[in-house]
């Protein structure tokens, strides 16, 4: 996975199926950026599986993840993905858009989940 264009409210990921993670030197991802990477890579995995059904590789997929922050408590209020897939036949765009919305992390963020935390010694 190659991570680029890292900013306070967005980043771009591509070559997601490759081993390892590459990003500009001295780049340190914060928790929200890691969440964005998880959403983007989960979406890519879903699209890759979708593309395999009709012999279309997802190797050229590029995903731009953007977000807005909310307050009370401080949190991610919204996220959006702009997905470019040059090798995808135009006739498959609508179906691929529907598929992209079915990754597990997308579903978790859309429907919420209970989270608990414990600190022990």
The total domain count for the chain is: 1
Tens digit of each residue's pLDDT, the chain (121 residues): 788 888 888 988 887 666 666 766 667 889 999 999 999 999 999 999 999 998 999 999 999 999 999 998 999 999 999 999 999 999 999 999 999 999 999 999 999 899 999 999 9
Domain range for 45 is 2-111
Q: Which residues pair with 69 in a beta bridge?
A: 76
Supply the pLDDT for residue 21.
67
Whether residue 76 lies inside any domain: the answer is yes
Q: CA–CA separation, 26 vs 117, rounded Å?
A: 30
Whether residue 84 lies inside any domain: the answer is yes
CATH number at residue 51: 3.30.300.20
User: pTM of the entire structure?
Assistant: 0.87
Give backbone dihedrals phi and psi of 67, rounded to 5 degrees, phi first: -150, 160
For Cα atoms 75, 37, 32, give the angle at the middle one, nearest 5 degrees: 20
**Helix extents (H) in 3-92:** 31-52
Whether residue 79 lies inside any domain: the answer is yes
Supply the pLDDT for residue 63.
95
Whether residue 119 lies inside any domain: the answer is no
Supply the pLDDT for residue 1.
77
Other CB atoms within 10 Å distance of the CB of residue 96: 19
């Amino acid at each position: 996975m190659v991570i680029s264009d890292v900013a306070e409210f967005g980043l771009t990921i591509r070559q997601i199926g490759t081993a390892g993670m590459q990003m500009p030197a001295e780049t340190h991802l914060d928790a929200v950026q890691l969440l964005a990477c998880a959403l983007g890579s989960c979406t890519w995995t879903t699209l890759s599986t979708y593309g395999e059904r009709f012999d279309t590789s997802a190797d050229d997929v590029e995903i731009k993840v953007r977000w807005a922050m909310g307050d009370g408590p401080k949190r991610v209020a919204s996220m959006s993905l702009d997905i470019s897939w040059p090798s995808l036949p135009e006739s498959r765009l609508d179906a691929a858009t529907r598929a992209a919305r079915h990754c597990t992390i997308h579903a978790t963020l859309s429907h919420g989940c209970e989270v608990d935390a414990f600190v022990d010694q």
